[in-house]
Each structure stands twice: as C-alpha cells, then as structure tokens.
C-alpha cells in the first residue's frame, strides 16, 4: 500500500518540524516536502505532486489564500487542508471559497490533524467543529461583516494586508500588483466600508476578529 504524500507549508521551521513529527507517527503518512512561503509552495507542488497539502494562511509573499487559489487553478483536483491560528468564520469561508478542502486550527487536538487528512483523502470536506456557525440571520446594510462578504478575493487580500498595517507599496510587492492597482483597490474597499482612513479600516478588521489586536 502506497504511503500518503504530504507537503507542509508554514513560514516557521519549528512549526513544520512539529507537524512532521506528529504526522510521521502514522506509518501511512510521509512528508515529502516543506515550503515556507506561497511562491515556493506552488513550485514545489508542481514538482512533488503530493496527495495533500497542509498549510498555514499567514506567511510572507502572496499569502495563504492566494497560494490556495493558484494551486487549485493549476490542479483542480488539489487537496489542501488549512491549519491556522485564525478561527474567525471569515477566514474559514475565504479558504474554502479559494479551494481548500478543510480547515482546522492550531490549538486543536493533535489527532484532529490526522483525522482531517483522512477525511479529505476520502473525498470529504473537513471543518473543525464550531468554526462555521449557522443561523446568523439577516444583515442590515450597515453590517460590516456583510460588506466584507461581498469583497472579491483580491479585495479581501488587500483589505487584510491594509488592516495589518502594510503600505500600498508593500502590498503591491507581496501580491505582485502595481501600486496604482492596489491604491484603487484600497479606495474601493474604503468606499464600501464607508470609511476614510486605513486606521478606521483596521479598527473594523480588529472588531470583526479579522486581525488580532
């Protein structure tokens, strides 16, 4: 029986080492590659063709959400499990929309990681219990969560990076876009949220749990 080929993507070597140690306790699993940023992960995926990718969302470069999108664009059968510190629903929804097949948090029990991998390999979607909340009800027009839900994938990326304090030029470098393009996105985002400054935008992000204080 062939072993399950796993690729790990996280910008912290210590975290990757912990993942690897945990996964190799299961003799069915083999970690075939490790990447520390999205661009490297995309190239490595093409070379290694792993059965499943276990990856973080927060990393330098294009970031986790864009990495998921690009891998899935190249291989629609790609299986990606997000393993992140973020437990807010907006991140879970965005990751699944980008093409991930599962989402668990780093504070979950160790055996959940192996359980999630197994479920995804069997063709299921696996989301840690409690991360997707039902019955949120109707949103009123001033509800920021509802506004953010309408953002395009690229708008959400720019919103997230602005909220984390990056400048337009730094965002342009990270997302491989022109500064003018990023500035236009920033203007659109502020208009949708009805704010004038990046500080106000960041305050909204913090209040919604999109950015940790």
CATH number for 74? 3.40.50.2300
Confidence of residue 9 (pLDDT cuts 50, 70, 90): very high
Query: In the prediction, which pLDDT does 73 show?
Result: 93
Query: In the prediction, which pLDDT does 212 show?
Result: 55
Give the residue among 82, 71, 26 at the shortest CA–CA distance from 49.
71
pTM of this structure? 0.68
Q: What's the CATH number where 177 sits?
A: 1.10.10.10
Q: For residue 52, what are its two tokens? A: 């499943």
Mean pLDDT of 63-69: 91
CA distance 84 to 155: 21
**Among 100, 127, 154, residue at a domain's last position:** 127
Residue 132, pLDDT > 80, answer no
**Among 76, 100, 127, residue at a domain's last position:** 127
Query: In the prediction, which pLDDT does 94 show?
Result: 85
Give the residue among 95, 87, 81 at the shortest CA–CA distance from 53.
81
The answer on 171 and 119 residing in a single domain is: no
**Among 61, 96, 127, residue at a domain's last position:** 127
Q: What residue numbers bound the domain in which 16 lies?
A: 4-127
CA distance 137 to 74: 36
The answer on 71 and 165 residing in a single domain is: no
CA distance 145 to 83: 23
Cα→Cα distances 137→4, 143, 158, Å: 41, 12, 27
- Which segment of 47-56, 83-92, 125-134, 184-193 scores lowest on mean pLDDT? 125-134
Q: Which residues have a Cβ under 8 Å from the Cβ of 17 and sit 6 or more positions away?
A: none
Predicted confidence (pLDDT) per residue in 148-177, tens digit = 888 888 888 899 899 888 899 999 998 888
Mean pLDDT of 90-103: 88
């Amino acid at each position: 029986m062939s072993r399950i080929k796993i690729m790990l993507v996280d910008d912290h070597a210590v975290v990757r080492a912990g993942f690897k140690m945990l996964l190799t306790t299961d003799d069915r699993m083999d970690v075939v590659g490790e990447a520390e940023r999205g661009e490297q992960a995309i190239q490595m995926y093409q070379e290694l063709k792993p059965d499943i990718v276990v990856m973080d969302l927060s990393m330098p470069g294009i970031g986790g959400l864009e990495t998921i999108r690009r891998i899935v664009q190249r291989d629609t059968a790609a299986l990606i499990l997000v393993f992140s510190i973020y437990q807010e629903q907006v991140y879970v929804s965005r990751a699944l929309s980008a093409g991930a097949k599962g989402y668990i948090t780093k504070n979950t029990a160790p055996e959940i990681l192996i359980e999630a991998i197994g479920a995804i390999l069997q063709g299921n979607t696996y989301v840690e219990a409690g991360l997707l909340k039902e019955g949120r009800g109707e949103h009123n027009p001033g509800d920021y969560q509802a506004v953010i839900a309408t953002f395009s994938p690229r708008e959400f990326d720019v919103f997230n990076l602005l909220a984390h304090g990056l400048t337009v030029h730094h965002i342009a470098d990270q997302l491989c876009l022109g500064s003018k393009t990023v500035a236009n996105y920033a203007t659109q985002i502020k208009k949708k949220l009805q704010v004038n400054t990046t500080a106000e935008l960041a305050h909204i992000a913090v209040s919604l749990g999109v950015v940790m204080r």
